[in-house]
Amino acid sequence: MTPADDPNEDFLRLFMRHESQIRAYVRACLPRAAEVDEVMQEVGLVAWRKFASLADASQFPRWVCLIARFEILKFRRKYARDRLVLDDATIELLAEEGAEEMPLRELQLKALDECVAKLPAERRQLVLNAYSPDTTIKELAATLGRTENSLYQLLARIRQELLRCVERTLATQS
Asked whether residue 112 is domain-assigned, the answer is: no
Contact 18, 60 (CB under 8 A): yes
Asked whether residue 110 is domain-assigned, the answer is: no
Residue 85, pLDDT above cutoff 70: no
Q: Containing domain of residue 154, as a range?
A: 119-174
Q: How many CB atoms lie within 10 A of CB 82?
A: 11
Residue where a domain terminates, one of 68, 101, 134:
101
pTM as predicted: 0.50
Residue where a domain terminates, one of 45, 71, 101:
101
Q: How many domains does the chain have?
A: 2
Residue 60, pLDDT above cutoff 70: yes
Give per-residue pLDDT as tens, 31-47.
Answer: 777 888 899 999 999 99
* 96 and 123 share one domain: no
Predicted confidence band of residue 2 (pLDDT cuts 50, 70, 90): very low
